[in-house]
A and B are shown apart, each in its own frame.
Chain A
Amino acid sequence: MAEMWINMGPQHPMTHGLWNLRVKVDGETIVDAQPEVGYLHRGIEKLVEGRTYTQVIPITDRLCYGSSLTWSHLYCLTAENLMGVEVPPRAEYIRVAAIEMQRIASHLMWLAAYSTDLGLMLGFLYTMRDREVFIDILQALSGSRLTYNYPRIGGVAHDVPPNFERDTLRACNYMEKKLKEYEDLFEGSKVFMMRNVDVGLLKKEDAMNLGVTGPPLRASGVKYDLRKDMPYSVYPELDFEPVTHPDGDCYARYRVRMDEMYESCKIIRQAVQKMPKGKWRVVAPRNGPVGTGLGRVEDPRGEGVMYIVGDGTDRPYRLKIRSPIFVTVSAAPKMLIGYKMADVVAIMGGLDMCIGETDR
């Protein structure tokens, strides 16, 4: 068969959103790839300039449907950095617990999408079922199921609901049991391993050079986790281990995310048990000062950075959002070339694409 370009997207089951991957195939082998994004560009960075600092929080929730809480948390961190607001410790612990729950939920959603990509409908339903446990807790915590709008500049919106500790610990235990089941189901299956091992190899040097962050980077053997290396919030007080895997293939990415879920369970448990009593919110100033603020967090998908410029009014002058997937997806051709057409879904699924944050 002659070489031909195939547009995988913008409407394609592989894309998990709205983007376009142009692949040039020779028969079934990929010889060139060209990701194109921008179909979901909503101009959030411009929208923000017309809103007050508080009104921006619900907008940043819309950045990523998979992990909206981490983005609004990142925005609040950035605004607090700009305004110099000290967050009460209870709020920090609540935030950490909520973020880690969001991370598990996000990773489970990734696992769901990934298993359907590989043709395993089963995984989708099992993981979505178990994700519900954490969504329910987050719902009781914040009042919403997808766009939580929970963090605030200077704390969080509400105190934890009654029975929060009991429910969270129970959910963690349940999750660890279920993760074992998933391992049995996925890694115990030879077909799954056939589809994953040695697929989508990303060398360490390439990953570092191309700005890949998050689980794909750690799966390439670089031990870099912002929660550990440049800690924010109360992460230094919690005991956990950044997860790495030396192989850099799809299986490594899968393994890193699975292990991160175990680590997140650990973090949630500690955060809930160490949570001090006291205020969960302080009043933030209405007007930001003239200056800049920076926030960096370890999003479930990679390194999320926000850079905010204040001009002394009650609206941000400029907010720049660094989306991890926007940078990671530019490394896609490096991973794709040389593999089969069916591996596209495994490789791109392994990156955990989220177009909301990519296009902003």
Chain B
Amino acid sequence: MNLFDFCYGLIHWLVDLINNIWYRLGDWLPWWFGDFFTGVGDFARSHGHIAVMAILLEVLIIIIIALINVLNFIWLDRKFMGRMFDFYGPYYVGYRIGGWLQNLADGIKLFVKEIITPAKADKLGFLLAPIIYVGSSFLALATIPLGRQFYIGTNADPLSTGVEASALIAFAFFAIAPFSILIAGWSSNNKYTLIGGMRSAAQMMSYEIPMLLTVASVFLMAGSFGFMGIVDAQHDIWFGIPLFIGLVTFIICLAAEVEIQPFDLPEAEAELVEGWTTEYCGMRFGLFMMTGYLRGYIGGALATALFLGGWHGPAFLPDPIWFLIKAYIVFVLIEWARWSLPRVRVDQILNIGWKRLLPMAILNLMIAVLLKTAGWF
């Protein structure tokens, strides 16, 4: 039973439950009114309607899981950072669960804050930037399956592979973010945000290439553009083992794409105040921040699916749990490096991207080609 099947069954059951009352209501009413009622009920019970509802429910489930994970990530990040820095981290809000509720408290605080748009800002761009940023990230999220049967699908076939080329789609959506950052930086009408936006564009575009080259090696090995095919191909051996260079390159590129510490130049606190988010406040900033962690989650999930065998693991835990555990490990590793390293400079980050990571990615691709032609995969 896959997620679609489950949702379909749930919606079907719910519709039947409601229809039970609905039809009886129709029986009591005059015939011309009762016919209308039964017509509506029949429409609700039709396959197309229930399938659409089921897909919406699937999306909702995936989003809720993602948001809970984002809260977990923020908490984990702060707590882990705190212990590494020799302090407690979140402590009092939600004392019994390790200060987990601190994030919710921060979220509420951001919700009730006033949203200020600078007087000389480009209003439309200023409003659109967070929407594009959040929307593109959620779209990338939608394509990632959490388990063999746990994905946003459209049929109940247990052997279905979901969306064809879902990995390509995920990377396409993942790469929209610099566009919105550039819009945010430009429309804020502030020199810091402008420089931050420009840096972001330069950085993300230069890191997109090595990242996609490593991903191409994975596609090559798996012979598929979809996550299902890629993860299924890793049943015997994770791609992270033969393509270790690719894994390293991918994680470094991921850190740059998600803009975390050694590569967080666009929002460099010391010289650019807060970079492209300087002028944002209230929940708009909250969205940016939340989406930053969401992108961290997506990045971890991508690395898991592409290199770490996805949901494959010993059978005592269900698929999604294995998937999330691996994603968390990748995230914690990135965070660990994040809090241990200073920030690199803008010329250095481009140097690293073009002079180190691109050759590594090409080398990785060559290894993949060799392995594939040798017939080992």
Contacts and interface: CB of A to CB of B under 8 A. Distances in A.
**B is bound to A:** yes
A115 B87 contact: no
Interface in B183-205: 191-192, 195, 198-199
A194 B85 CA distance: 23
Contacts of A116: 269-270
A123 B347 CA distance: 24
Interface in A238-290: none
Interface in B241-290: 261-262, 264-265, 268-273
A25 to B, nearest CB: 8
Contacts of A234: none
B84 interface: yes
Interface stretch (A37-45, A294-302, A335-343): A335-343
Nearest to B344: A191
Interface string A184-196: 0000010110110
Contact of A115 (B195, B271, B342): B342
A189 B342 contact: yes
Nearest to B340: A122
9 contacts: A13-B271, A117-B270, A119-B343, A122-B84, A122-B340, A189-B340, A194-B348, A342-B270, A344-B271
A1 B342 contact: no
A14 B270 contact: yes
Nearest to A342: B345
B156 interface: no
Contacts of B6: none
Contacts of A121: 81, 85, 339
B344 A340 contact: no
A118 B339 CA distance: 12
B236 interface: no
A195 B271 CA distance: 13
Interface of B is mostly: helix
A184 to B, nearest CB: 11
Given A12-B273, A342-B265, A28 B346 contact: yes
Among B84, B86, B339, B345: residue with most chain A CB under 10 A:
B345
Given A119-B264, A126-B86, A191 B342 contact: yes
Nearest to A190: B341
A264 B268 CA distance: 34
A4 interface: yes
B270 A13 contact: yes
Contacts of B344: 191, 194-195
- Max chain A CB contacts within 10 Å: which of B195, B273, B348? B195
Given A28-B346, A118-B342, A119-B268, 6 more contacts: A14-B270, A119-B261, A125-B85, A191-B262, A191-B342, A195-B345
Contacts of A108: none
B213 to A, nearest CB: 24
A120 interface: yes
Nearest to A11: B273
A291 to B, nearest CB: 48
8 interchain residue pairs of minimum CB distance: A119-B343, A118-B342, A125-B85, A120-B342, A345-B270, A342-B345, A117-B270, A119-B342
A125 B191 CA distance: 30
A195 B272 CA distance: 16
A210 interface: no
A129 interface: yes
Nearest to A29: B347
A119 B343 CA distance: 5
Contacts of A12: 273
- Of B81, B271, B273, most A-chain CB atoms within 10 Å: B271
Interface string B23-62: 0000000000000000000000000000000000000000
Contacts of A47: none
B227 to A, nearest CB: 33
A230 interface: no
Given A125-B86, A126-B85, A341-B195, A119 B345 contact: no
Interface string B161-174: 00000000000000
Given A122-B84, A125-B85, A126-B86, A345 B348 contact: no
Contacts of A194: 344-345, 348
A13 B342 contact: no
A122 B339 CA distance: 7
Nearest to B262: A191
Nearest to B198: A1
B198 A341 contact: no
Contact of B345 (A1, A122, A125, A343): A343
Interface in B126-158: none
Interface string B99-131: 000000000000000000000000000000000
A208 interface: no
Contacts of A126: 85-86
A140 interface: no
B89 to A, nearest CB: 12
Interface in B290-346: 339-346
Interface in A186-216: 189, 191-192, 194-195
B270 A4 contact: no
Nearest to B191: A6
Contacts of B84: 122
Given A125-B85, A126-B86, A342 B268 contact: yes
Contact of B273 (A13, A118, A119, A125): A13
A6 B198 CA distance: 15
A343 B269 CA distance: 13
Contacts of A344: 271
Interface in B72-108: 81, 84-87
Given A6-B191, A119-B261, A126-B86, A342 B271 contact: yes
A10 to B, nearest CB: 13
Contact of B347 (A118, A191, A340): A340
Given A126-B85, A189-B341, A342-B265, A118 B346 contact: no
A341 B271 contact: yes
Given A1-B198, A13-B269, A117-B270, A340 B85 contact: no
